[in-house]
Amino acid sequence: MAGQTVNFKLNGEEIRAAAGWTIWQAARAAGVFIPTLCHHEALHPFGACRLCVVEVEKDGKKTLEAACSYPAAEGLSVETETPRVQKSRKMTAALLLARCPSVPLIRELAARLGVAEDSLPLKGRAEEACILCGRCVRVCREAIGKRAVSFAYRGPQRRVSAPFGEEAPDCIGCTACVFVCPTGAVKAVRQDNRLRLSPWQTELPLLSCSACGRSFAAEKVLRHLHGLQKASFDPETLCPVCRRKQVGEALEKVSKLGKAGSFPPGKEQKQFKH
Amino acid sequence: MKMHRSITDPAALEALRRELMAEGQAAGASVSVCCGTGCRASGALEVVEAFKQGLAARELPVKVNTRMTGCHGFCEQGPLVVLEPGNIFYCRVQAADVEEIISRTIVEGQPVERLLYLDSASGRRILREENVPFYRGQERLLLAHNGRIEPASLADYLAVGGYAALAKALTEMTPEQVIAEIKVSGLRGRGGGGFPTALKWEICRRAEGTTKYVVCNADEGDPGCFQDRSLLEGNPHSVLEGMLIGAYAVGAEAGYVYVRHEYPLAIAHLSGAINEAREYGLLGRGILGTGFNFELKISRGGGAFVCGEETALISSIEGITGEPNPRPRPPYPAVQGLWGCPTVINNVKTWATVPPIINKGGQWFAATGTAGSKGTMIFSLTGKVNNTGLVEVPMGITLREIVFNLGGGIRGGKKIKAVQTGGPAGGCIPEALLDLPLDYEQLTEAGSMMGSGGLIVMDETTCMVDLARYFLSFTQDESCGKCTPCREGGAQLLHLLEKITKGQGAEEDLELIAALSAAMQDSSLCALGKLAPNPVLTTLRFFRDEYLAHIVEKRCPAGVCRSLIRYVIDSSACTGCGRCRRACPAGAVQGTKKEPHLIDQEKCTRCGACLEACRFAAVLVN
């Protein structure tokens, strides 16, 4: 398959995409914007939020499909802004706004798509921030290789949760879930040398830097990373800043021993700040 | 029973079959007791025990076999007993009746009148099963042997011609010829989608890959549907044989039956059948002396409705959460399915239809049905109809024929209002469209669908708004909650319908209902969300006046929606017997003996217990 391309129509223009690309990837390469919420480039397509729907014509039949997961294929005709697409996106935004009335990202999205504040009768809790995009669940599984959190319950009761709603025993405190959450529903608080993750109800001890004494990462993360590198874990470890500083100093020493200014030309030595 | 340990070639299979058939004929007489789940619930196992003991205690001139068979379909009248010779049909048989059946019928050859089926139309008792109107209008292809064989008995299945189709396919046909025969038959998926079976098989056969799978979808979950269950319980070998033939056709060597854990009897009979088939060499390596290998496993589902959806089903078998994946199609599961391998997933009924097609030919099968929908279909007939049960009828039959000829009309002489077809994701067909021929296209055109074959009959006492609310609450409960339109849209839609049934609806709500339904249909991830608005849209289309009565007049014409009705006592009809007073759980009925009673509307919870209790039609619904 490598190197193969497919040709299809995007908003009336013939475009080329690499085989295996989704419509969303092909559109981005062609400079066509398609809004997404649950999609994240580091993760497999999930197709849950339905915001990225586009109208796909195939064999004379027009259907709405999720651009984030639908593969670009020879002979398709894809439209990204038809009235049908806009209507669907608007309703999706309205539904998410009703669920999460106070999340800025959703409020902006709804406003941009012209959704009125009270367009739907059933209102979510003011503090509800989770749109169930599943990025946290997927990043934990796909990128970190853990399955510390997951979806629980089904239908309208669906939520993201650590097993049995208790502390997540498999959580290593990497905070990747916090990083990928688009709405701020997953939070990490560092306090008193401890890392608190919500809504996972999980608390992990942080390791302190043996040089500067600041707590910087959960011990479990470092053990996990050492495990990946098949290295033994040393609790007497440095925080990233101190480690860089140490490496920098070592390099400086080496360069002073040799000729001055031996860094490759064009690359400036970065200043380390603490 | 003389059975060889292994059936190594088609000739051995035929020899064994002849032996078994001769043995069956020598026995001369048999008692078949329906031991399907329904009849078991009403005492079938006690009836079997009574027959076994009663027959053993007597010296009879001929040997009489007692058979525990699968579901006969006429669940309304269970437990059912059929006696051979003569095909004598007894219904609602209890253990206490058995002695009389043995002495009167088996010994003296006389029927027990009171146990014969009473035809309400003619007022006459009917002796033979084939003359009972419920059976007379049916064309039983898949259910033909359900009432004749012991479900997990390979011997019984062989005696009725079982595995002849497999032998024929393996020794006389190439895989391509098998697919061609299915193509000629015009068989379409019986799970509801109606996808041409031969095309699915062809795609899978041509797909790249050495490992391929066949899967039987037995995740039947529609309320009131039990045809897949009855087939697996009553004739599991027919499903097995179909899967073997399918596996040969597509080039698969392994398969799964995905069956819900709530079907313990189906699982027990299926496991029995699989074990016996394996023991006799009909599963495993070198089947019937050919180079064909096949193994089959049961995968038990946890009872999630959404796992009937192909991609969710695949995930569930793979051991991950059973929810739909955004696997766009193509590639269909036939190209990339279970563990990424080409996989054919067919419904129980589809698999069971394969052996008769191979035996009698595609042409023969295609002679029944309509232009686009061939063969027969099994429907679960339930609701406000006299004869509930399973009916197998030719495609193209009208709803009216099913409800009035086979079903015996509406209970209590009431007026029919509509029929819900295709389960909770299907639609409501109003009385005016009852002459619609039942096939895939016609039902879809009417806004409903064939689905897995559920038929729920509704009379004038059914509120169509409440019905839509009920089905939507079901699909909402069963939605996995993954995609926004189904999860959030469904919740909003349900909220609006609840508002209307409480008398708090507004006319503009109907527009919002239409918009939400359209969004769910258009953009949901899987068929559950896309089809869930169907009951709402069809009731809105055909019964808009009922919606308006709830909204504008704050009235429920069928007298169902609690917030909109009042129970009152007609003082001229009330005799003061006190039954309603004692029945009322809220203490809302007041009155002294032999004086007309009154209902305190403040206390009344509108449960309807008084209405059911009253013997003088004095409780009225306003």
At B344-380, the pLDDT tens digits run 999 999 999 999 999 999 999 999 999 999 999 999 9
Q: Do A91 and B515 touch (CB under 8 A)?
A: yes
Distance from CA of A173 to the nearest CA of B (A): 24
Share of chain B above pLDDT 70, in %: 98
Q: Do B356 and B264 share a domain, yes or no?
A: yes
On whether residue B140 sits in a domain, the answer given is no
Rounded to whole angstroms, the Cα distance separating B72 from B235 reads 11
Domains of chain A by start residue, with CATH: 1-129 (3.10.20.740), 135-228 (no CATH)
Residue B603 shares a structural domain with residue B589: yes
Question: Are B451 and B476 within one domain?
Answer: no
- Do the Cβ atoms of B482 and A49 come within 8 Å? no
> Same structural domain for residues B337 and B200?
yes
B503 in the same domain as B396: no
Asked whether the CA dihedral B364, B370, B372, B376 is positive or negative, the reply is: negative
Cβ contacts (< 8 Å) between A120 and chain B: which residues? 492, 512
Residue B324 lies in a domain: yes
Which residue reads 């529903």 in tokens? A185
B512 membership: H or E segment, kind and range: helix B507-523
Nearest CB among A69, A71, A155 relative to B477 is that of A155
The DSSP bridge partners found for residue B298 are: B257
Cross-chain Cβ contact A154/B480 below 8 Å = yes
Q: Report d(CA A271, CA B368) in Å as an integer.
A: 84
* Residue B398 DSSP class: B
Do B395 and B257 reside in the same domain of the chain? Answer: no
**Same structural domain for residues B97 and B166?**
no
Distance CA B439, CA B421 (A): 11
Q: Looking at the structure, tell me whether residues B592 and B444 fall in a common domain.
A: no
Is A113 within 8 Å of chain B by CB?
no
Q: Phi then psi for B160, rounded to 5 degrees?
A: -100, 20
Q: Which tops the pLDDT comparison, B532 or B446?
A: B532
Which residue in A22, A27, A20 sits closest to A79, CA to CA?
A: A27
- Cα dist from B252 to B205, B210, B344, B479, whole Å: 9, 8, 9, 32
Contact B457, B387 (CB under 8 A): no
Q: Three-state DSSP class for A146?
A: coil
The predicted pLDDT at position A1 comes to 47
- Quote the pLDDT of residue B50: 94
Q: Of B164, B163, B142, B155, give the one whose Cα is nearest residue B24.
A: B155
Would the pLDDT of B507 be above 80?
yes
Instruction: Could you list the beta-strand ranges (E) of B407-530.
Output: 416-421, 427-430, 454-459
**Percentage, residues of chain A above pLDDT 90:** 73
Question: Of all residues in chain B, what percent carry a pLDDT higher than 90?
Answer: 70
- Please give the order of strands across the beta sheet that includes A187-191: A187-191, A194-198, A202-208, A215-218
**Residue A273 reports pLDDT greater than 50:** no
Partners of A15 in the β-ladder:
A8
Q: Is the ipTM of this complex over 0.90?
A: no
> Does A1 touch chain B if contact means CB atoms closer than 8 Å?
no
- The answer on B489 and B583 residing in a single domain is no
Residue of A nearest to B483 (CA): A48
Length, in residues, of chain B: 622
Does B432 have pLDDT greater than 60? yes
Average pLDDT, chain B: 91
Q: How far is A132 from chain B (nearest CA, A)?
A: 7
In this complex, which of A47, A84, A121 lies closest to B326 when CB atoms are compared?
A: A47
> Which residue range is the domain that position B445 belongs to?
376-459
Same domain (yes/no): B482, B588: no
Q: Does B478 contact A155 at a Cβ distance shorter than 8 Å?
A: yes
Own/partner contacts of B588-596, CB < 8 Å, gap of 24 or more, are B596/B569, B596/B571, B596/B572
Work out how many domains chain B is built from and give that number: 5
Among candidate residues B552, B492, B434, the one with its CA nearest the CA of residue B544? B552
Cross-chain residue pair B484–A120, CB shorter than 8 Å: no
Taking only the tens place, the pLDDT of each residue in A203-259 is: 999 999 999 999 889 989 988 988 888 888 887 888 989 999 999 998 888 877 655
A82 interfacial to chain B (CB closer than 8 Å) = no
One domain for residues B88 and B171:
no
pLDDT value at residue B122: 85
